[in-house]
Structure 1
Amino acid sequence: MSAREAVLDAYETLLIERDDQAATIKAIAQTAGCSKGGLLYHFPSKQALADGLIDRLKRRTSDDIETMRSAEEGAVNYYLRTSAVTDDHFGRTLMAVTKIGASHSGTVENALSMVQERFLAELRRYCPNETVAIAVLLLGDGLYYNEINSGFCCTAKRDVTPEVLAAAATLIDATSPE
């Protein structure tokens, strides 16, 4: 793994496990196992780190969409199943970007909007109409919300079983106009 990627991994970890305040240049360098100078060589500022993480999110969104296209279970089922996964590369990067501080809010909002638009555009290819594509997108958002808040909400993480996801896909198929 390159030093640049190690720094981004460290930044993600600190954002996820702690918060933006804890993700100082010094803490990121320590977590990445490099010097402050080494970190600053790749990312000369916190803004550059945020931009690097957002660029990583864009790449990982593209990678996830490619995987979605070729998923044996079908694109819609893949999207729903993986919406409840937050510990893979894409999920970790997405979660970390949502935790970047308020000083980067415009950049973060644009990045998160881009992710949602990319997935909606892809879902349109597999859903019979715009309404169903939006419903699938929002169902995925709900599954993600449930996953990241599983310790704080009344709906337990364990309730999102393969049977629940299959039922959701069946409902979508049953309500889709021919």
Structure 2
Amino acid sequence: MPKNAAAPSASTRDRLLDAFEELLVEGGERSATLDAVAAAAAVSKGGLLYHFASKDALIDGLLARLDTLAVEDAENIRTATAGPVDYLIRTSVHTGSPLDRAYIAGSRLAQGRDPRAMQVLTDIRRRWLSVIEDAVHDPHTAQAIMLISDGLFVNSSLAGHEQAPQLHDDEAMTRLIAVIGRLLPR
């Protein structure tokens, strides 16, 4: 087999995952049927089934993608030059990044009570919390920082709405990080 023969399949697989993710984000689990995913990815249903034999397999693929992105993010938090708390807070704002989109898609599955999605999201949160606990050496402060991070993510999803608070510029983030610094044990 030629060296790059797998490239189109990988690309098709990613397009299918992207389409599934988009449908979940925009319309929830009910809108993300196999037919809708195939159509959104411009692939035949047979092509979708070649890569993902069932909707369960598609869900597993999406959750594996989410987990991979979250593992990378946890390492980025841990090794951030400005420190884990600074990095976490500054990256908690929804920007439409691959991690943001995969996380929202996983959340939509969890809202539908998919136990696999609920477990992956729980594992991600524990991983992030562990990194912050290691950085601040206090589980209660780490939990408060995680809740601030959650609030930033939710608040930023309202961005563009006229009544949404605009707290996402660099200056506002710097002030927030300074306030969080006052929470840290000495």
Fold shared, TM-score > 0.5 on shorter chain? yes
TM superposition score normalised by structure 1 = 0.89
Unaligned runs of 5+ in 1: none
Alpha-carbon shift at residue 118 of structure 1 (Å): 0.7
Distance 1:14 1:132 in 2: 36
TM superposition score normalised by structure 2 = 0.85
Query: In structure 1, the residue corresponding to 2:28 is in which secondary structure?
Result: coil
Distance 1:153 1:110 in 2: 35
Equivalent residue in structure 2 for 1:25, among 25, 34, 51? 34
Question: Counterpart in 2 of 1:8?
Answer: 17
Distance 2:180 2:111 in 1: 37
Are 2:132 and 1:123 equivalent residues in the alignment?
Answer: yes
Distance 1:153 1:50 in 2: 35
| Cα 1:42–1:153 shift into 2, 3 Å | farther
Alpha-carbon shift at residue 42 of structure 1 (Å): 1.6
Look at both structures and tell me which one has the larger radius of gyration over its CA atoms.
2
Distance 2:184 2:167 in 1: 25
Are 2:182 and 1:174 equivalent residues in the alignment?
Answer: yes
Equivalent residue in structure 2 for 1:164, among 155, 168, 172? 172
Alpha-carbon shift at residue 32 of structure 1 (Å): 1.4
Distance 1:72 1:151 in 2: 31
| Cα 1:127–1:83 shift into 2, 3 Å | same
Q: Deviations 1:14-49 (Å, cap 9, x if unpaired)?
A: 111222222111111122122111111121111211
| Cα pair 2:167 2:173 within 8 Å, conserved | no
Bigger CA drift: 136-145 or 158-167? 158-167
Query: In structure 2, the residue corresponding to 1:30 is in which secondary structure?
Result: helix
Equivalent residue in structure 1 for 2:104, among 95, 99, 119? 95
Are 2:142 and 1:133 equivalent residues in the alignment?
Answer: yes
Q: How many residues align?
A: 177
Distance 2:65 2:173 in 1: 28
Are 2:59 and 1:39 equivalent residues in the alignment?
Answer: no
Unaligned runs of 5+ in 2: 1-9
Written as runs of structure 1 = structure 2, the 5 A alignment for 1:68-79 is 68-79=77-88
